[in-house]
Each structure stands twice: as C-alpha cells, then as structure tokens.
Chain A
Amino acid sequence: MKQQLKIVVNGEPYDLFVEPKTLLVQVIREMLGLKGTHQACDSSSCAACTVILDGMAVKSCSVLALQANGKEVLTIEGLADGTKLHPIQQAFIDNWAFQCGFCTSGQIMAAKALLDENPNPTREEIQEQMDGHICRCTGYNMINEAIRDAAKRLQSEKSAQSGKGAA
C-alpha cells in the first residue's frame, strides 16, 4: 500500500505517494529525476548516494523514503546558488578532486555536512569522516586537499560577509 510522503528536496516541497519499501534514493533518482545522486552498490558500502537529510549526511540507499517524511533533503543539484557554484564545488574543480565523477556528488555532499560541523578540519579529520566513501579514480588525496581548500574559501567568504555586515 502506498503511503503519503511529504518531503522538501532542494527547497522544493513535494507531496508523493510511495511504497513502504521505497528507498530515498529511488524517490530522488526515479520519481524526481534528480540523477546527480548516484548509486554504485547494493550493500550500503560505497556512499556514492550520499545526500543531506536535515543537515546530516546519509546514504540515500539506506534510508526508506518514509523515514524522510516531513524532512528536508539537499542533493547535489541544490548546492549551487543559481549559476554560482558552491565553494566546495569550485574547490573540487580547481583541485582536480574527481576524475570519472561518479562518486563526486556523494563526496561533495559529505564534505558539505562535514564543513558545516567542522569548518576547519585537518587531513586526518577528513579521512576519518570520509572513510566510508569509495573513489576508484583519485586515490583520495586530491579530494582531501579540495575539502581543505573549500574550508578556506568558506571562511574567507564568511569573514568578507561579516566585514560587510559590520560596515
């Protein structure tokens, strides 16, 4: 029996009906057509499908859609500010932090959640937090550097803003 799912995705409210066993990733990819969130395993062990659910990075293949009822989801498509890329996205480009790009959405969403919590993480802290993510292309070091670079960009953005606010 389908049940009602009220969910906000990338700021957009949706009123859907889903089977109890429907996964959040299926809602995102198939019902909403947001194909930027990728799935690379069937065992909840690659984190390619990571999205942000009420501020927390989650594997969208491991969350039932109904568990997200009444909650807010942010996917890779919702990260940029209009045509302006989010600083994490820009840092990923500038640091060559992806190759095939298939794991990238998940990495970026996890990085976003991480930097929201810890605005100035060390290499080791990033490794600790991101250890669930498989990337078969990059060897991770350049992702790690991109995240530290993004942290700097976000901080200087913040201080620029607070500077403006003061003036």
Chain B
Amino acid sequence: MKEYSIIGKPTPNVDGPAKVTGEAAYTIDMTLPNMLYGKLLRSPYPHANILSIDTSKAEELPGVKAIITGKDTPGGKWGLWRRFRELSDQQALATDKVRFIGDPVAAVAATTEEIAEKALDLIEVEYEPLPAVFDPIEAIKDDAPMVHEDFPSNINATRHIEWGDVDKGFAEADYVREDRFVLEAAHPCAMEVHNSLASYDKGTGRLTVWTSTGSPYFVQQNLAEALKLREGDIRVIKPHVGGHYGGKNSTMPDAVNAAILSMKTGRPVKIVYNRDEEFTTTEHRTAQNMALKIGLKKDGTIVAFEVKTMTNGGAYTGLGATTLYLTGTFITMPYKIPNYRYDGVRTYTNIVWGTSIRGFGAVPAKYCSETQLDRAAKDLGIDPLEIRRKNAVIPGYEAPGQYKFESCGIQPCIEKMAVRVKEKWPKLEKDEGIGYCAFAYMSGGIFNWIDTPYAYSSAHVKVNWDGTVDLYSQAADVGQGHNTVAAMICAEELGIGIEDIRLHMGDTAHAYTDLGAWGSRETLMNGNAIKDAAAQVKQKLIDIARLKLGENIAYDLVAKNKRIFLELRPERGLSYYDLVKDAIRANDGVPLTGTGHYTPHNKGMISPAYGMGIMAMKAKVDRETGHVTVQDVLVVHDSGQIINPLGARGQVEGSIHMGLGYGLCEEMPMDQGMLLNPEFVDYKILRTRDMPEIEILDVPTYEPNGPFGAKEAAEATIAPAAPCVANAVYQATGAEFYSNVLKPEKVLKAIREAEKKQKASKATGK
C-alpha cells in the first residue's frame, strides 16, 4: 500500500478546540439583534379537518408580533422525492386538515419564548376529527381512511427489485424457509433538537437561514419551493450540528415557519423545538413488517431469496421512500444471491413519519435476514460463520442491474474473524453465545430522487500568497468528522499540512453544491471533489516547478512535505511556499484556484463503493430474568483506505451503540397515534454502563472509486449490532426472535418457546 503523509494517520478533530471549550456555536446557541422567538401550535388529533382558527385573542397579547395560519403561508409544498412531484407533500402549516398528532396549524412570533408559548394557548382551533389509521396493514385496505387525497389505500410508494429466476431458484432449493417479522420504530434522538434561525432582508428580498441540518442544499431547495422564492435568493448556513443520524435530512416546519415569520415581521425569527416536539414531530426509523423466504442447497449455498416489506410510513414522505428501496437492496448484501425478488410498499398513516435514519433501510433488513440465516444454518447443520463465508461476495460481484462490488474484502474479513474469535473467546460459559452478522453499506447514493441539476459534490480550493489554503464546500460535518477528513484529503493532495488549510463548509453562498451528509457519502463523494480541486492547483505548481527545475520531461513530480520534487530524485525539488509565490506572480496576481466536482456514472443504481465486514458479539442470557448482557464485541471491517483511523473508530463505536439500542431497548410505543414515551426518562438510550468494549480490526483494500482508495466507514456497523445480539441469544438458548428490542419479557417468552420446541422434537425423535 502507498505511504501517505497524512491519510491513514490518526488525526485529532479539526473542530476539537472549539468543541472542548464550548466555543463551537450550534444553531441553538445563536441569536441576532432584534430577534423574535417563534413557536408552533400543533394538532392534538391524528386526523381531523380544520373547521376554523381564531387567533384574535392571541394577537392581543403584548409582545406577540405575528401569528400565521395555513392561509398566510406562500403555500408551496416540498419534499425530498422531487422527481415525483405528488410526493412533495410537506407544508408549513396544515390548511384543510391535520394528518398526525403534532402537525402544525399555526405559528407565533413574539419577543420572548414565554410570550410565544402563552399565545399558543390563546389560539382557538375547531377541529372535526376524522377516522384515522395507524398501521400499514389497516392503511392498505380498500375502505381505509385516506391520509392524502389521490393516494387510495394510502400507498405512498412502492419498490420492486428482481433478478434471476426466483421461482426456478426455489424449485431447485433443498431447503426453503419463510419467516415473518415486525420491526419497531426508533428515534434518532440528536442531542441538539431541530431548530432554525431565519433572517429576511426586506431591502433585497433575500433570506438567510441558519439551521441544524445534514444538508444545507436540501434546505435551500425546499425553502425555495415552500416560499416560492428562487433558490439563489436563499442562503442556508449549517453551523456546528449537535447530531444528525439521518434525522436531519428533511426540511422541517421549524425552518420554513421561521422564514415565513421573518418575512412577515421583517425581524430575525428563531424556532427551537422542545424535546417532546423532537420526539413526537420529527422523523424516526420506520416501523415495518417484513416477510422473508430463503432457499438454500444442502451445503448452505443460497439459491433464491424473496423479501416483502410494508412500512408504516406516517403522514409524509421524507426520504422514507428511499429507505424502502434500500431495505430491499441492503438485505441482499454481502451475499451472492443468484435469484432475488423484492417488493416493498410504504403506506401513509396518521403518525409522525419515518425516514432515512442511520443505516438507511439496512437496520431492519439485516435484522431479519441475518437471524433467518442463523436458523437456516442450524437446520442444515452448518456453522454460522461458515454459511456466511460460503455465500459472501467476491471482488467484481454484480447484482444484475443493481450494484457491483469493486474493492471487496469480505472474504478476508470473515477469515480473520474466524481466527480472532478462537483466540478471543476460546470457551463459552453456560448460557453464553456468539452471534454473527456480515454487512455491507454504500458510500453515498447514486439515485437522484431529489432531482438535483447540479453535481453531487463539489469543492473549491484557493491558495493564497503565503501558501495557506481556503477550502470551500457545502459538505456537512454533523459530528462524523468530515471537516477533518476534508482537510486531510486537501492537505495530502497538495503535500502540505492540515494547519495550512482553513475550512469554509456547509454554506450555500460560499460554495457549489454538495448534497450533504447522508448515506455515508461525504468521504467518497466530497472527498473526490476536494481531491479534484486540489489536484488542479497542484498541477499549476508542478508546471511552474518543471519550468524552474528544467529537468528531463520524462520525470514525474510529486507534492509532499511542503515541497515539489522529482519522485525518483527527492533531493531535486522546490519549496511549496516559494512555488506558490511564483505561480501567483505568473498568474497575474490571482490566487491559485481549483474547482472540483464528483458525480458517479456507470456505477449501478446504488453506490460507487461499499464498506463491509463482519461483526461478532458474545452475550450472556439470564434464564431467570430474561436479561441479556452483551459482554464483548468484535468487528472486522473493510473500509478501503481509512482516511482517519480515529474518526473511523468513532463511527464504528457510535454505530454499534445505536444499533445495540435498536436491538435491546429503543422503541416508540403509540396509542392511537400518540407517542407514549417522548422523553429520555422513558425512551431508553444505552448509557455508558451498558456499553461493552469493542475490538475493531481492519482489512484494508483499495477502492478505485474513492479518494486515495477510501470508501464508507460510517454507517455500515449499525445494522449488524442488533442481529448479532439476537443470534447470540439464539446460539445460547435456541430462542428465536421475530422482532427487535429484546426486552427481558420477550426473551423469557422466546426461551420458553424454544424449550417447548426442543422437548417436542426430542419426543418425536424417539
């Protein structure tokens, strides 16, 4: 492997000093002179017609500066599935009817938050409750209440994927099994709630919005639609973001209503959700029902696979339709599946909607497929690691019409795992088990339902007289560490230090478009754009160096250690800083600039590259209480050339934490559309005492589509966590699980059923 100066070296976070001193400003920390505070009045009904809204009493309250209802908004609808216009279904405030408990119906701007809240109490809304629907099975019935007009039986989106000859595949299988699952919803729970600060300039008619988002460009597009303004008249700035995890892709009513209120009052307006609003009205991981049918040969080779999914979509679309598609994709990875069929339907229901939460479809999908695979392996008498090795893809594997793996280290990952598990856990105690799950995940999405006319990623590099570099991009650091990765890639390409780079990120006015932080896309896609931009500048420096050195043109020049020199004669070279001065002089005094961009082409439907690996967990089950303790975690993963090992480890650790929550304790119980646990007291997030230690081993590969061979190192490891726990319990006790959240009651019940089954099979065996 190539030796880099910066890439691959553990590098502290470039935002570190700001974040450990409290200086890092999040949107929630920002105020502007003359600023007003906005609040939203929300529907108490899951489904109701709005008959009338009376704001007169509220308007009389001193300190109230504006009150708006649906009719006062510009009325534009927005969404992220812009290629299908009818799926642009979000609106600032409900006009005719409300579709979930929490749908906003009015917004207030006042001089203090307290006054704004008081004003909400004084607004009188008359509703006519309508029959509501909360479950996908009910929603799809012919006579089900319609959440949106023109969507009979509440079918929001459907997805079909098929390759090979599935029916023939099943006919040839020696072993076929079907399993049905019910997956619970989970909330991303970013520590910084959704909040936005909007400032409208009356003089120019331009709008600036600071917001806690994963994609400033999505917000810019959506605001333009909602407000019927031109995109270019809207500037969106992403300050530091206190957590995203997929829950901050959609533009939400906070941003849009803050903007409308600012346009009405001519003053800056800030809207901050409280934790209850965050839980009850912002996007979560969708609850869904899945049915899986798998056919294998006696030796464990998968010959056919069929998957059906119905998701409880909720009131609006978000990126939920994409999640539906990716559920059907990631469930096949990283295995060779010659014959495959997937059907998914996302239903509209009268609950808050589900979307693209971290792992983007892979989380529920892998839970089902990997627990099913363990059961099949047991029936066939095959070791769970061996069945995964046997079916794992190899480099160059292609799922027809869907995706192709170029760099692909899954086989060596599994081999390394087999060796390490034996050393690490040579012996199991009673009621202990080891659960496995193999996984793969995209490095940014190729699909363009957002319908951007721009390159997927771009970056702009400017080199100043003194050699310092300004790097501009809309790419979003949301905590994952992309700012550090961006600086590292830029510095490596130019052969300089991170301290030479100043970042200007996440601002739509400062840079060309980048689609933002979702689907683990920034390292590969934005990284390619940055590398491209920096390479253009480097070429200019190399040209000048060639001129000055006067060497044989056959020599290659490289930029490294702040010098540009002959690759084979390192002693012959020039200082980067001197060359920059010469180059600017030669350029009529204009700083050196490069503008790079990246859009994937001819890379299938999903992603140009895939991170992958295998996870193992050792867990112990208490047969008396049903309590499951995850004792130890081992991950072997292939993330290509890892850019920053510190950041990559952070992503794996954090993903496992959230994935374990999905497997053990996080749930969103609802009653008639009302969330029952909208606080951290009741919504259980794993705390530090619950976290096992995690050992992470790398199998480096070189990804030809990524910058310096890099690919995804962020989200892949969330999906395997929950199936690993379930499989560990299965291996220890035989208990089978057909839903996530292994609460003690559920574990005890499953153990009893397993014991019954074992007795019965013994009896018939005799």
User: At the interface, yes or no: A45 with Cβ under 8 Å from chain B?
Assistant: yes
List residues of B (638-664) whose CB comes within 8 Å of A's CBs: 646-647, 649-650, 653-658
Distance (whole angstroms) from the CB of B145 to the closest CB of chain A: 33
Neighbouring B residues of A37 by C-beta, 8 Å = 22
User: At the interface, yes or no: B761 with Cβ under 8 Å from chain A?
Assistant: no
B21 and A79 contact, CB distance less than 8 A: yes
Bound complex: CA of A73 vs CA of B17, how far in Å? 22
User: At the interface, yes or no: B15 with Cβ under 8 Å from chain A?
Assistant: yes
Q: How many A-B residue pairs have CB under 8 A?
A: 163
Interface size class of A (residues with CB under 8 A): 35 or more
User: At the interface, yes or no: A144 with Cβ under 8 Å from chain B?
Assistant: yes
User: At the interface, yes or no: B163 with Cβ under 8 Å from chain A?
Assistant: no
User: At the interface, yes or no: B369 with Cβ under 8 Å from chain A?
Assistant: no
A46 and B22 contact, CB distance less than 8 A: no
Distance (whole angstroms) from the CB of B738 to the closest CB of chain A: 27
User: At the interface, yes or no: A130 with Cβ under 8 Å from chain B?
Assistant: yes
Q: Which residues of B contact A (CB under 8 A)?
A: 12-13, 15-26, 28-29, 188-193, 240-245, 274-276, 478-481, 646-647, 649-650, 653-658, 679-681, 685, 687-689, 691, 693-694
A99 and B650 contact, CB distance less than 8 A: yes
List residues of A (86-106) whose CB comes within 8 Å of B's CBs: 89-90, 92-96, 98-105
User: At the interface, yes or no: A57 with Cβ under 8 Å from chain B?
Assistant: no
Neighbouring A residues of B655 by C-beta, 8 Å = 139
Closest to A76 in B: B22
User: At the interface, yes or no: A134 with Cβ under 8 Å from chain B?
Assistant: yes
Pick the contact of A101: B240, B688, B691, B693 (CB < 8 A).
Answer: B240
B687 and A104 contact, CB distance less than 8 A: no
Neighbouring A residues of B658 by C-beta, 8 Å = 136
Bound complex: CA of A130 vs CA of B688, how far in Å? 7
- Known contacts A35-B29, A43-B679, A99-B481; decide if A131 and B688 are in contact (CB<8 Å): yes
Pick the contact of B688: A42, A96, A104, A143 (CB < 8 A).
Answer: A143
List residues of A (1-46) whose CB comes within 8 Å of B's CBs: 34-38, 40-43, 45-46
Distance (whole angstroms) from the CB of A109 to the closest CB of chain B: 10
Closest to B652 in A: A139
B20 and A108 contact, CB distance less than 8 A: yes
Bound complex: CA of A106 vs CA of B632, how far in Å? 27
Neighbouring A residues of B240 by C-beta, 8 Å = 100-101
Distance (whole angstroms) from the CB of A59 to the closest CB of chain B: 12
Distance (whole angstroms) from the CB of A167 to the closest CB of chain B: 32
Q: List 21 A-B contacts (CB under 8 A).
A: A34-B22, A35-B29, A40-B192, A41-B679, A42-B274, A77-B23, A99-B650, A99-B654, A100-B240, A100-B241, A101-B15, A101-B240, A101-B242, A101-B479, A103-B191, A136-B191, A136-B243, A136-B657, A139-B654, A141-B693, A143-B688
B694 and A139 contact, CB distance less than 8 A: yes
Pick the contact of A45: B12, B26, B245, B681 (CB < 8 A).
Answer: B681
Distance (whole angstroms) from the CB of B285 to the closest CB of chain A: 13
B13 and A98 contact, CB distance less than 8 A: yes
Where chain A touches its partner, the secondary structure class is loop
Bound complex: CA of A42 vs CA of B274, how far in Å? 7
Distance (whole angstroms) from the CB of B632 to the closest CB of chain A: 12
Closest to B277 in A: A42
A85 and B19 contact, CB distance less than 8 A: no
Bound complex: CA of A127 vs CA of B192, how far in Å? 23
A43 and B17 contact, CB distance less than 8 A: no
B22 and A35 contact, CB distance less than 8 A: yes
B20 and A96 contact, CB distance less than 8 A: no
User: At the interface, yes or no: A160 with Cβ under 8 Å from chain B?
Assistant: no
Bound complex: CA of A104 vs CA of B192, how far in Å? 12
Bound complex: CA of A142 vs CA of B22, how far in Å? 19
Supply 13 further A-B pairs (C-beta < 8 A) apart from A40-B191, A101-B242, A128-B689: A38-B26, A42-B274, A77-B22, A89-B21, A92-B20, A101-B15, A102-B26, A105-B22, A127-B689, A127-B691, A131-B688, A135-B688, A136-B685
Closest to A144 in B: B688
Neighbouring B residues of A96 by C-beta, 8 Å = 12-13, 481, 646-647, 649-650
Closest to A129 in B: B688
Pick the contact of A89: B20, B647, B687 (CB < 8 A).
Answer: B20
Bound complex: CA of A142 vs CA of B647, how far in Å? 11
Bound complex: CA of A132 vs CA of B21, how far in Å? 21
Neighbouring A residues of B18 by C-beta, 8 Å = 101
A93 and B190 contact, CB distance less than 8 A: no
Neighbouring A residues of B646 by C-beta, 8 Å = 95-96
- Known contacts A96-B12, A141-B691; decide if A134 and B680 are in contact (CB<8 Å): yes
